[in-house]
Chains A and B, each alone.
Chain A
Amino acid sequence: MAYIALFPDAAERIADAIQVRHRAAFGSALVTTNRTPSPRPAEFVKVILVGGTQRDRVTDVPTLAVEAWAATRSRAAALAQEVRAVIASLEGATFAGYTVQDVAEFAGPGDLPDPLSDQSRYTATYAVTIRSEIAVNIT
């Protein structure tokens, strides 16, 4: 018999948290998602789980690529900075059995043009340390 920690879909949880906190901080209803929406809104944030490792039995450290999409490069850059601030604020946040212990920036916002559309995109990469209080008994 062993209790094994379960971890959340980090991209989905962090995308939801960005939406809530961005609205509180900046007042606009930002679309956040973990996949490219169709049709695309004029402005949105996409959170992609690109890897990461489990640090110990109860701590996961997913690596998240966070893309800020907008109609212009300057707005995409500004949105990326807004989201950067929101993500930094997540340290200590709790979500139904999970706690964000730490947020580390692997790569800050940079311009990554999209070859498939005319939308502008800035992207940054973060490592988010998540502690789980949810476990399943596996025999």
Chain B
Amino acid sequence: MAGKIRIEMNRAGIIAALKAPGVQADLLRRGNAAASAAGPGHMVTARVGATRVRVSVITATPSAKRAEAVDRSLTRALDAARRG
């Protein structure tokens, strides 16, 4: 009979991985890909939070806001961020 297996999560290590420069670079690349696919006027921002890196893509100009409101340009660009 197999013995019990105990798994102990290394929380500090997981957080370090989620904030690692390589993860930030990958997220930024994905954010830039989505912004590029969405068209002009989209801005990418990165922020290192308490437990992870977050990258956002936003409509930064009136024309980009209108493109999302009318054509869903940023929503349609989500797949660009999925590509490896």
* Contact surface of A with B, Cβ cutoff 8 Å: 48, 50-53, 63, 65, 106, 112-116, 123, 125
* Contact surface of B with A, Cβ cutoff 8 Å: 66, 68-70, 72, 75-76, 78-79, 82
Could you tell me if A52 and B79 are in contact, using CB atoms closer than 8 angstroms? yes
Could you tell me if A51 and B66 are in contact, using CB atoms closer than 8 angstroms? no
Could you tell me if B69 and A53 are in contact, using CB atoms closer than 8 angstroms? no
Could you tell me if A115 and B72 are in contact, using CB atoms closer than 8 angstroms? no
Q: Who on chain A is nearest to B68 by CB?
A: A112
Could you tell me if B70 and A115 are in contact, using CB atoms closer than 8 angstroms? yes
Number of A-B contacts (CB under 8 A): 28
A114 to B68 CA separation, bound complex (whole angstroms):
10
B56 to chain A, nearest CB (A): 12
- 17 CB-based A-B contacts, threshold 8 Å: A48-B72, A50-B75, A50-B76, A51-B76, A52-B79, A53-B82, A65-B75, A112-B68, A112-B69, A113-B69, A114-B69, A115-B66, A115-B69, A116-B70, A123-B75, A125-B75, A125-B78
Select A51's contact among B68, B69, B70, B78, beta carbons within 8 Å: B78
